[in-house]
Amino acid sequence: MDLSNYSLPELRRLAAKIENEIRRRSDTTRRNLLKRVQKMAAEEGLTLDDLLETPAAASDTKAAPKGTRRRAGAKKAKAAPVVKYRNPANPAQGWSGHGRRPQWVLDWVAQGKAMEDLAA
């Protein structure tokens, strides 16, 4: 691919899109792998916490009967919000598209740029 004909802003947009795609694919791969490992652990009657426990810590605690690992009334951890838009100047900043728009989104739109260019 010959990039010499691209302007600097075009190259920056392309770099942001590439980083977003890498992040998206990495997240998808990680989620799919986590689901597979959870399924494999469940087939053996274990949780991910059981797998991540160090052998010394596991021997110090009494094993709970199968199916009683979770406390009664314990809530599942709240899922992290899905990031729909990323700041190309700072990819660590994301926005779900819900609620008040962050300043970097307002600045982007004020410059006449399309929201689609921020898509994660």
In the structure encoding, which two tokens stand for residue 95, read together? Answer: 């926005």
DSSP class of 105? H
Q: What one-letter code names the amino acid at 63?
A: A
pTM of the model: 0.39
Dump pLDDT digits (tens) for 5-40: 999 999 999 999 999 999 999 999 999 999 999 999
Is pLDDT at 84 greater than 70 in this prediction?
A: yes
Q: Measuring CA to CA, which residue among 99, 97, 98 is closest to residue 119?
A: 97
Spatial distance between the Cα atoms of 18 and 10, rounded to a whole number of angstroms: 12
What is the tens place of the pLDDT at every residue in 39-80?
998 898 888 888 887 666 555 555 555 555 666 666 777 777
Determine if residue 60 is left, alpha or beta; phi over 0 gives left, psi from -120 to 50 gives alpha, anything else beta.
Answer: alpha
Residue 52 vs residues 42, 46, 48, 89: alpha-carbon distances, Å: 14, 11, 6, 36
Name the E strands within the chain. Answer: 85-87, 90-95
CA pair distance 94, 23, nearest whole angstrom = 12
Domains of the chain, residue spans? 1-53, 80-119
